[in-house]
Amino acid sequence: MAQPDSQYDPPSTMGPGTSYFRAEALSIRTIGVEEHIMFPQLMSRIPKDSHAAAIMKSMMSNSSVTYSKSRTTNGGEQRIKNMDEGGVAMQILSSVGLPNCTHLGDTDPKGAVELAREINDELKKVVDSNPTRFKAFAELPMHDPEASVAKLHRCVKEMGFVGAMLSGTIGGSAKFLDGPEFDPILSAFEELDVPLYLHPAIPPKAVWDKYYAIDDKPDLSAAFGLAGWGWHNEVAIHVIRLAISGTLDKHRKLKIIVGYQGEMMPMMMQRFDTRFPEKEFGFERSVGEMLRSQVWIAVSGMFSLPPTQAAIATWGVDRVLFAADYPFQNTQRVPEYLKALGDVVAPSDLRKICQTNAEALLKFKV
């Protein structure tokens, strides 16, 4: 964690907790679990006239992602410099999944499997270039569960990856992972004891057209359907489906990470437990218990205390992880946020959020 010039630097913003770190927190080694990188030479294989590619173009025109534009492809000095500025000791890298290999799977299933392999090879190169600062989540061709099992085994056992990330539903199919065809890959996550990170992505075209498309305003539609609202809602739907369909009970050792302060689910916990009574629906556990037992929440660059406090209050501090969502958020904001968080949680809890929860889940020491 970045150390202040003095113990009582002037606050950078009005409000509590922005002026200093408590002494016990100064040795924390912050791990960011959702930090992205793009490989344009590979992602160019996804047809440029596809729904996902068109929406991605509109998204990248938003002024909120200006910081990212020179940083998405950088795995070297620029990234390390920004990590040092934010006091981030390690990043868990993942491919920018908007779109991802499953979108190619809609038209070229075999090509999508090969694309996943090449993305993982590129991720491995970046990790190997600086192994004390980087680890990685695998890209999996989830449209092909059998191939995904093989890819996950290779990435974890041979390449040292610490899990995998799925962005959105399965390509343009709108499939969630509660279907029986995905039991083999979910079982593989259990067998290897690594987490599956469910990250947002571009909603399928049919959903987009009905819910998010605003006539003649593609950039506004992209803001609404993606980071402004829509994709957070989709991840929440995915996780709730895994719970109420019985998938989490079938795969009790499955570990899931979601980002963005819990994808709006912490505020709904009371609703989950009252509207899905176990006896009425035949659940073995309450929805809340399923989520708290098997789902971890990452901050993902939403540097605001109220949603973090809601996540801690509903999930418990042992299930909360730090993530900067680099390069889509400025890492220079990290120390300010952690100073503020350190004023409302104990130093031992701040260490859990920033470091030791991730170390325990991902099974390494930084």
Active-site amino acid positions: 325
SS3 283: coil
SS3 194: coil
Tokens of 145: 């569960």
217-223 contacts at long range (C-beta below 8 A, 24 or more positions apart): 218/54, 218/58, 219/58, 219/61, 219/62, 221/58, 222/55, 222/58, 222/59, 222/61, 222/62, 223/59, 223/62
Among candidate residues 314, 180, 174, the one with its CA nearest the CA of residue 242: 180
Distance CA 66, CA 72 (A): 11
- Residue 246: phi and psi, rounded to 5, are 95, 0
Write the DSSP symbol of residue 355: I
- 2, 338 contact by CB (below 8 A): no
Distance CA 301, CA 67 (A): 13
For residue 124, the tally of other CB atoms under 10 A from its CB is 19
Strands (E), 116-237: 134-136, 138-139, 164-167, 196-199
Among candidate residues 143, 65, 63, 61, the one with its CA nearest the CA of residue 101: 143
Distance CA 341, CA 18 (A): 9
Distance CA 234, CA 107 (A): 23
